Amino acid sequence: MLKKTGKKGEDIAVSFLQQKKYKILDQNFCIRGGEIDIIAEKDEQIVFVEVKTRKNKKFGEIIEQISKNKQNFLINSANNYLFQKELTEKNWRIDVITVFLSDQEPKIEHIKNAITYL
């Protein structure tokens, strides 16, 4: 059930980004320790996107559920991806897209530069 909810949220996030003119480069990029949900490009910048999907707020705000370990993982994974794809000269950032599924239309929030790496 959890994987199904996450996949639905990722699909919604991809459509959202495409509507905003992002080019999707990769999805579910696996690396030791986990994966990056979406890798996109817009305006000559690589955007690594962590998607968080929930059906209720039982565990608090979605954005609060990204631990320091997860943040470090995303930063390291982004650097690894850039190195593997020979894109180290590109500007990049890490965004978070939260998808809250309810009986109505999904509520989407796009937080740009949610995780800083400097």
pLDDT of 1 > 60? The answer is no
Q: Is the pLDDT of residue 100 over 80?
A: yes
Residue 98 identity: T
* 40 pLDDT tier (thresholds 50, 70, 90): very high
Of the candidates 107, 118, 101, 105, the residue with the CA atom closest to the CA atom of residue 4: 101
Of 34, 35, 48, whose CA–CA distance to 94 is shortest?
Answer: 48
- β-strand partners of 51: 97
Note the pLDDT tens digit of each residue in 2-25. Answer: 577 778 999 999 999 999 999 999
pLDDT of residue 7: 86
pTM: 0.89
Residue ranges of alpha helices (H) inside the chain are 2-19, 68-84
Q: What is the pLDDT of residue 77?
A: 93
pLDDT for 23 equals: 98
Confidence of residue 60 (pLDDT cuts 50, 70, 90): low
Whether the per-residue pLDDT at 95 is higher than 90: the answer is yes
Residue 50 pLDDT: 95
Residue 104 has a CB neighbour count (10 Å cut-off) of 7
